Structures are given as structure tokens and as C-alpha cells.
Amino acid sequence: MTASVSIIVPTYREALNIPELVRRISEAMTPTGHKFDLWLMDDPSGDGIERVVKELRLPWVNLVTRTPPRGLGYAVLEGLRSAPGDILVVMDADLSHPPERIPALVDAALQPENHLVIGSRYVSGATIDGGWSLLRHMNSRGATWMARLFTWVNDPMSGFLAMRRDILSRAVGELDPVGYKIGLELIVKCRCGKVAEVPIHFSDRALGKSKMGLREQLQYIVHVRRLARWKYGELARFGEFGIVGASGLVVNLATLTLVNDAMLRMGFTAQSARLNTAVTIAVFVSMSTNFLLNRMLTFGDKARGHLGRKYLTFVGVCLVGGVVNWWATTRLALRWHEITLGLQAAAVCGVFAGMLFNYIGSRIFVFRTIR
């Protein structure tokens, strides 16, 4: 079966890599009989890419000079939307992704059961050029691990992809360009249940420099958060509330230790007065950091309104939540007193009950939808 294939390549300062990229794509695709075209989605690079493309004189090679906003995600999305092919392929310009594997990706994408095909670095048969720093490995693995919220694909971070246009059409209006890990964005929003992974050899970039830096990595966290909200809605919000709560535990323990030590050094030897003071301060400090973080993150979209009044309501909700925690823990501990670790299990349930109460209370009384 022959198809029409559009290959979309985001470029920024890649002029030097274009001739070899084009030559290898042509050599790989011509024997397949597929009709194919190339879309270089260039953010004005000022590196003479226009001249390079012109000199190739190939009608199937198209250069799109973009207008802002600049960015890899925007460039790929614009290409996906405007390219004419029935099969859409996305790959990097720097020859990290071997053009020789495009036919294999296309074949897999033509199988009706595959929603998305990934050129994968992490399946058997795949290889990676050596010379990756420990940091790059950790980054790649860490990012993959976070993607497990959405998919068990081995290499969800890959930028080498193929899909049929009808799958893209499922979500084309919902794709968010800040989602610069475009593969993950497509898996989630196009609801790609079946993702095929084709092994590739991932080379070090041929020429030029990588554009991925700290900014892109931080953006990835923002991206994961957005996808979680998109896919899991209220449950994702509750998850964030839980993460903030865990940070509050750390703040609480640190404050408790600091205050207790300081008081000891200042000569407060009466134990019960010292502990009461230290615990009270620790509770209020962690409650306050929790409030601020929840206002910024968990309920960032509902942060408007009087800060002081919101804070006091939050403290009120937490106090009641504390009572719920205490009540549930003591009740369960009595019931489970003969079981090993019964007390600890009761405490975990108590914390969870208190947290659920705090969440619902915060949602209804503190960070309201209507105001």
C-alpha cells in the first residue's frame, strides 16, 4: 500500500545539517513508492537556511519561515496542522534520528491498530551513541518516569514519531504548544491506546548545538502538570494537594527541630513548655507554607480574593481537619489494637481522612470557584 507522507522537521540554526538530511530522506523514501514531502519549520535562524534550501532545487522540500511565538512545540504543531500527508512524521534535523528508519515507522503507522508510532531508544534492538553524561541519562530517565502518569511506553520523550492524520484529528484543537514533548502530548490528548515502538539508533547530533536547557526541563514539569489536569481533572488537583502536604511535613519537622534546639540553647529546660511552644510554631509555619503553596499551585487558578481572610479560613479548615485526623486515628487504633502495626495503619488512615477533609474544605470554603 502506498501513502502520502509528510515529514515535519522543526529547525533552529540547522542549515548545515539540511543537505545530508534531505539526501538521506530521499534515499530512504524513494524505494518505498510512497509519495513524500518535507516541511522544514524554521524559526528565523539567520543562518542562511533559505539559500541552502533554494540551492537544493527539490520541489518536495518546503521551507516555512515561522513568525513568533518561537519554539519547538509551536513549530511541530504548525507543521502537523498544515502539512498535506495522510501519514505525518516528526523528526529532528540534527540527524540524531536516522532517516533510514522512516519507512519502518510509516509501515507501522499504516497498521490500523496502531494509534502512534515512536522511533524508540529504549526497546530491544535500539542503540544510543555513547558519550551521554550521567546528568543527561538521569534527566532522560527522570522525565520518562514522570510520564508514567500517562503511559507505559518505553520512550515517551522521543521526538521521532509517525501517525495517521485521522488520529491527529481527534485532538488537533486541544494540542498545547507549551507541551514541547510533542509525543507525550499526542499520546495523552489523541488518546493513543496502542503505541508501537520501532527501535532506532540514536546518534549524537551531527553539527551545531542542542537547544535543550534548564528552561525546557522546567517547562516539562509545567507540561506534565497540565496534562495531568487535562486527563485526571479533580484527582490531579488532589494529587497536587497531597504533594504540597508532603512538603508541609518536611517544613514541620525542620521547624520543630530548629525551634527545639534554639530553645534548649537559650536555656528553656522545662520540657513540656518547650515542646508545646516548638510544636505549635511548627504547626503554624507548615500550615502557612502549605497555604501559600496551595494558593500558588493547587488552586493557582482560584487565587483571587482577600489574602488574610483566605488564610484564616484555611487555618480553620485545617484545625477541623486535624480533629478529623485525631478522631479517625483513635477510633481505628482502638479497633485494630490487636493487629501488628495497627496503630501505624490507623495513623495513616487518620492522616488520609484529615487530608481529604482539608482538601474538600479548602476547595469549598477557601478557594471557591464562584466569587
185 binds ligand GDD (CB under 6 A): no
Cα separation of 333 and 327, whole Å? 10
Question: C-beta of 132: minimal distance to Mn ion in Å?
Answer: 12
**Mask of contacts with ligand GDD, 96-115, x by CB under 6 A?**
x-------------------
Interface stretch with ligand GDD, choices 49-57, 127-135, 209-217, 263-271 (CB under 6 A)? 209-217
364 φ/ψ sector (left φ>0, alpha ψ -120 to 50, else beta): alpha
Cell 495513623 found at: 347
Interface stretch with ligand GDD, choices 21-29, 89-97, 255-263, 334-342 (CB under 6 A)? 89-97
159 binds ligand GDD (CB under 6 A): yes
- What 3-state class would DSSP assign to 60? coil
Interface stretch with Mn ion, choices 88-96, 217-225, 311-319, 350-358 (CB under 5 A)? 88-96
Chain residue whose CB lies nearest ligand GDD: 159
Contact 43, 117 (CB under 8 A): no
Asked if omega into 103 is within 30° of 0 (cis), the reply is no
Q: For the sheet containing 35-42, what is the strand order?
A: 61-65, 35-42, 4-11, 87-90, 161-164, 116-120, 195-199
- Which is closer to ligand GDD, CB of 37 or CB of 240? 37
**Mask of contacts with ligand GDD, 248-267, x by CB under 6 A?**
--------------------
Cα separation of 197 and 365, whole Å? 47
Helix (H) / strand (E) element for 316: namely helix 307-335
Residue among 95, 79, 89 nearest 19 (CA): 95
- Which is closer to Mn ion, CB of 205 or CB of 226? 205
Residue among 319, 283, 284, 314 nearest 299 (CA): 314
Which residue from 24, 201, 205, 229 is in contact with Mn ion, where contact means CB under 5 A?
205
94 binds Mn ion (CB under 5 A): yes
The contacts of residue 332 (CB under 8 Å, 6+ apart) are 342, 345, 346, 349, 350
210 binds ligand GDD (CB under 6 A): yes
- Which is closer to ligand GDD, CB of 72 or CB of 104? 72
Residue among 146, 142, 38 nearest 99 (CA): 38
Which among ligand GDD, Mn ion, none contacts residue 39 (Cβ within 5 to 8 A by kind)?
none
Question: C-beta of 209: minimal distance to ligand GDD in Å?
Answer: 7
Which residue from 11, 96, 298, 358 is in contact with Mn ion, where contact means CB under 5 A?
96
* Helical segments of 61-191, H only: 72-82, 102-110, 134-147, 165-169, 182-189
Which among Mn ion, ligand GDD, none contacts residue 219 (Cβ within 5 to 8 A by kind)?
none
127 binds ligand GDD (CB under 6 A): no
Which residues in this chain contact ligand GDD in the complex, by CB under 6 A?
10-12, 14, 41-43, 70-72, 75, 92-94, 96, 140, 157, 159, 181, 205, 210-212
Which residues in this chain contact Mn ion in the complex, by CB under 5 A?
94, 96, 205
